[in-house]
Chains A and B, each alone.
Chain A
Amino acid sequence: MKPLNKLKLKELKIQDNFTDNDLVLKYLNGDEDSFYTLVNRYKDKIVNYIYRFVNNYEIAVELSQETFMRIYKYMPDYKFDYKFSTLIYKIASNLSIDYLRKEGKFIGTEMVDIQSLKMKSIASPEEKLLMEELKKKLESEIMNLPIIYRQPFILKEMENLEISQIAKILGCKKGTVKSRLFRARNILKEKLGPYFGV
């Protein structure tokens, strides 16, 4: 490896140590690369998050690009009242919902045949395979959740955000988020409960 590449790698590692707000500040002071460090930090999360709504990879990538474009345009007016992650998930949520409304449908309502997944006792050699199948079933059931329950559920269980942050993203009270999570979990429990063999 050339010394220049080593230096670049070192720079990238240093960039990784910065908080989101540090990177925003650096960008606002003229360091363009800081913005792309933020992009690299969040691109997978945002694509994954949007995919859980639209259930189409190409559209998820397209909407993620649009999310970052909006952030880029918003940057000169950036206010540090919110966490950067709150802002980006908020934009991604709004874009996803706008897309679903525009399409006039909630994509991802097709059901997976679950009879093959029914299991009372899991044979040890097949356990891994069955768990993978169960994950697919769970994924499908998450997609079938009404959007008001799906949003907080994905933000909490997949993106590991705090309740207060989810409340800010969705623009509702913490209590509302909690009750929606409660409802989402109960729906999933009803749908998947019999297949856990508990």
Chain B
Amino acid sequence: MKDECIFYKKLMNDYLNVDISKIEEIALMEHIDLCLSCRRDFEKLRKISTLTKEIETIKAPENFTDLLKNEINSTQKKGSKFMEIFLVIAASIVLFVMGFAISSTYLVKNENFNGTPEISEKRSNIEIPVKKNIKPIKPEEINIKNNYRKWEKVYLEEVSH
């Protein structure tokens, strides 16, 4: 292959790409007239290009657009359902957190909180007298019925005072 032919091979490519100037095109055609090897190559390339354009194109199925519409609609429905579920879960979490926060605020207010919360005087609005110096009960004295009555008596006495 002559050196100049390499240059014209590039121009053949540009010609087929429809990316060639008028001057280059004229130069290419003049060269092809003179060079048999390039003329053969150019004819082959042109035939490939022409035949490729003639290859039957594959068509989309007739229901392509309808299928796509259904797909889009179902995705949108899925999206809104997901959003619905997400909102319900989010609302439940918010309610749970709020409920927990409120209840813990009331319970922690008592300084002597030791796992058995006492009712706050302020919250209940009931004045509960607190007996100081209560005599501790010995285990052998524990008798549920008696203790209950004993405590009831003490309580009523305190209230009457």
Contact = CB atoms under 8 A, between A and B. Distances in A.
Interface of A: 36, 39-40, 43-48, 51, 57, 60-61, 64-65, 68-69, 72, 131, 134-135, 138-139, 142, 153, 156-158, 160, 162-163, 178, 181-182, 185, 188-189, 192-193, 196, 198
Contacts of A134: 51
Interface stretch (B23-31, B53-61, B107-115, B125-133): B53-61
A135 B48 contact: no
B19 to A, nearest CB: 5
A131 B65 CA distance: 34
B64 interface: yes
Interface of B: 9-10, 13-14, 16-19, 40-41, 43-45, 47-49, 51-61, 64-65, 67-69, 71-72, 75
A36 B58 contact: no
Contacts of B57: 44-45, 48, 158
Contacts of B17: 156, 163, 178, 181
Given A69-B72, A158-B53, A185 B48 contact: yes
A48 to B, nearest CB: 4
